Every structure is written in structure tokens, then in C-alpha cells.
Amino acid sequence: MVNPVKSILERGEVSLGGWLNLGSPMAAEMMASCGFDWLAVDAEHSLFDLNTIADSMRGIEARGCVPLVRVYGHDPVTMARILDAGAYGIIVPHVSTPDQAKELSDSMRYPPVGVRSAGTGRIAAMGDDYRATINDQVLVIPQIEDMEGIENAEAILEVDGIDIGFIGPNDLALSMGVESGHPDHEAAILAVAAAGKATGKPVGLPIREVEGARKRIEDGFTFIDCCSDLRIMEAGAKATLSGLRG
């Protein structure tokens, strides 16, 4: 089992991915066919259940893309079930301390490295090498979404077993009481880029505009969520209607 996204990031290259909000395995497969390195199933804010998560990951894998999942909490059992269903990595929201990061890393890896329970889930039952390789291939991705996390960003990324730091810019802005683009918000985002540089760990964020994404890559972000199935559908529908009614 090899995780190509991990290999891309270890080479210092940029990895482009997208977000899945529609709760649709067909949309997941269609997005995966477009050439993204990875796609993240959003189980935190969307209507996915475990079966649709697994079906979406099947479609993603079938098109040569890496399936990730954003979970809805820090429960180790939930993360183990998502990994058993086939995720190559998990994005965990609202991580603010290195202690939280350490617990997450431990919960996603088998002993002796971590404490993940062994079972015969979908992915583990299909190959003899899964348990022997997944500890090195899984991506543990804490999502930093408040000022405590910003202040602890370097310490979070220094935790052994943390692979990528990922910013949640909207919740970060809410927690700061400012709008996205405020100078303090921008400074917080750049603090995570600096933490990534200091620790040698890749960092990422969602950014929907092409020029904005290019700027963030220049800032040092290499794990880029550049679009979502929901927003692509919305933008396409609006453009069609505007063109016909205009």
C-alpha cells in the first residue's frame, strides 16, 4: 500500500485536492476522474453516512485518486471505522493543542506505534500488507481553526506522527471575531505557513480562486483544497442561467 499524496509532499511538491459536500458517490467518482491528487469526503458538515463514505472512496480509488475523510470529532472509534472503510488519511477538525494531536496520531496507527484496534474492515481484509504498511502511509491531518491552535501550530506540527497541518480559515475567522481577509486573520494564516517551514511539515488550506491558490503556494502552502463538488455545481448552474437570462 502506497499513498502517492504522501510521496508528493515528501518531495516538496504541491498536491492539489478537492472537497466533497454533496453526499454523492457518483459526484465523488466524477471529481476523481478530473485528475485531483486527493479528494476529501466531508463527514463533518455534509450528509454522508458510513456506507456513502465507503462507496465514495471506492469511486475515488477506481479513478486513481486518494480518498481522505474529514471526520466530525476526535472519537478514536469513529476514526478507526473510517480507516477500516478505506481512507488513506483523516482530517480532524478543531485541533488546538499538541496533546490533542498526539492522541489523534496514536488513534490512527496500529501498535506498537499507536493504539488503533485491528479488525477486518473493508480495506484491511483485502491485502496481506495493510497492517504492515498503513502506519507509514496514513495521513494524520489536524485542522487548526482557532487562535489557540495558531499559537500552538509549531508544537502541533512537531508531534511525531502528524503529517500535515491544515487551516480551517472560516472557523478561524469566526473564532477571532473578524472577516476573512482581515489583517489579523491573514497574519494567523501566515503563522501556520511559518510553522510548516520551521518544522519541515507540509501545510495546507482551502482556497477556491486560482490566483488566490497561486498566492498561497507562494506563501508556502503545498496541500491545497482548490474546489468542491457543491460549489462547482452552484457556479455552473449560475453561469448557465445568467447566460440564458442575461
CA-to-CA dists, residue 196 to 164, 168, 192, angstroms: 8, 15, 6
Q: Which of 45, 74, 94, 185 is catalytic?
A: 45
Q: Which amino acid is at 156?
A: I
- Alpha-carbon Rg for the chain, nearest whole angstrom, is 18
Over the range 142-180, which residues count as b (16 or more CB within 10 Å of their CB) and which as e? Answer: bbbbbeebbbbbbebbbbebbbbbbbbbebbbebbeeee
In whole angstroms, give the CA distance from residue 72 to residue 91. 9
Is 94 designated active site? no
Residues 6 or more apart whose CB falls under 8 angstroms from that of 116 comprise 76, 80, 83, 106, 107, 108, 109, 110
Catalytic positions, please? Answer: 45
